Amino acid sequence: MFILNTLKATPSFVSPATHAPLLLPPLTLHSSPPFPRCQVFNDELGSYSGVLSTVQASIKQLNAAVRGFEGVSPAVAETVAELAQGRVPRAWVAPRVELCLDNVAAWLADLQTRLEFLYDWAVDGPPPAVPLGMLSRPRAFLTAVQQSFAELGGRPVGQLHLEAVLLAEEEDEVLSKEALQSLGAAALGSVTLTCAADGTRRSLGEMLSEGCLVGGLVLQGARWDRERRCLADTQPGALHCALPLVWLRATPSPSVPALARALALPGAVLPVRARDAYVCPVFKYVACFGAKHNLADDDDCLATLLMPCGNRAAEYWAAHNVGAVAMADPAVQWEGVPAVAAAGARGQGQQGGARG
């Protein structure tokens, strides 16, 4: 019912989202335009509107055929057969929106979670930390961020890098809706965040003026030790571990220039280490299991994180196919993914050898 109501309300989302009161005031530099949150919202809205329109048209045809108003076309027969077997109808699968395809129930739950996120965005304004897994096209969002800060700095887009910096804090600790609403604009100066690698502390306002915050990342194949701020072996029976916030810092001078140059090359293979840290790829959800993805310009690879190795060498984590995944709802455990799938993914990584 929520999905159908959302479908009817979709055209009225744009205006409230554009003019909604923000939890934080918009940050601008000089007289340049603010961060393109409306552009990102409109792109997301267009993607999900297409999915909802397709589903609505399909259900309308199915109902007409069931009531005898129309004949049973091959498309309707295929939809009925797939729904009867619990599968997602092929007609509902949109190339621009990658939802969970395990079964139709999981697909609908995933769709509802993302629509609720868009609804909250329309009512409350854009989130301070953008959950990458909620976006239908996260790479387009990253490109928009890069273009926006390139314009602010008066630089060509190719000279600006988005450097992913892992922070020590969880989103619920410092960026909860209640805390930001009570602090208001004072949160920009009073809320401080810590870089996990070197312990550098920056205010929320400084970080948002130099980039953006993203969340919703889950680490697979390893565990993030919050006390020691490094990678560690997973606990028995645990396949995944939630990661803290990530700061996407827009800078013309990356902290590891050699790594930035290597990743910019077409067809470049992700290196294993940089400055004694493990180069951890950040994937979209669809790439979390299956074939080994180790190309920097792979469409499924969104970014890379430099993570302290802890007591293990970087090659150890690479052999275990350790990577971060952008999930729509990290609070939901991957109950549909058996442990043997993770073992298979790790086996493929070991057979393929360490990354270049």
* Residue 334 scores a pLDDT above 60: no
pLDDT tens track for 9-37: 444 444 444 344 344 444 333 333 445 66
Superfamily for the 129-356 domain: Dynein motor C sequence, barrel region (3.10.490.20)
* CB crowding 323-352: b at 16 or more within 10 Å, else e: bbbbbbbbeeebeebeeeebeebbeebeee
pLDDT tens track for 84-109: 999 999 989 887 787 888 899 989 98
* pLDDT of res. 351: 38
Per-domain boundaries in the chain: 1-25+32-126, 129-356
Cβ distance 100 to 110 under 8 Å?
A: yes
Q: What pairing do the DSSP bridges indicate for beta strands 211-215 and 129-131?
A: parallel
Q: What are phi and psi of 240, to 5 degrees?
A: -140, 155
* pLDDT of res. 327: 83
pLDDT band at 230 (very low <50, low <70, confident <90, very high): very high
* CB crowding 250-262: b at 16 or more within 10 Å, else e: beeebbbeebbeb
pLDDT tens track for 284-323: 865 444 444 454 445 678 888 899 999 999 999 999 889 9
* 109: its two tokens: 């739950």
User: What's the distance, Cα to Cα, between the start and end of the chain in Å?
Assistant: 50
> Of 209-223, 252-266, 276-290, where does the model show the most confidence?
209-223
Q: From 284, 332, 347, 335, select the one nearest 103 (Cα to Cα).
A: 335
Residues 6+ apart with CB under 8 A from 104: 82, 83, 86, 87, 88, 89
Instruction: Say if residue 156 is exposed, middle or buried (CB neighbours under 10 Å; 0-12, 13-18, 19+).
Output: exposed
Residues 6+ apart with CB under 8 A from 323: 219, 220, 221, 280, 281, 282, 283, 288
Residue type, 235: Q
The neighbour count for residue 117, using CB atoms within 10 Å, is 20
* pLDDT of res. 26: 41
Question: In terms of pLDDT, which residue wins out, 35 or 113?
Answer: 113
Query: What gap in Å lies between CA 298 and CA 295, rounded to an integer?
Result: 5
Q: What pairing do the DSSP bridges indicate for beta strands 273-274 and 240-242?
A: unpaired
To the nearest whole number, what is the mean pLDDT of the chain? 76
CA 326 to chain centre: 4
**pTM of the complete model:** 0.76
Average confidence (pLDDT) over 122-150: 86
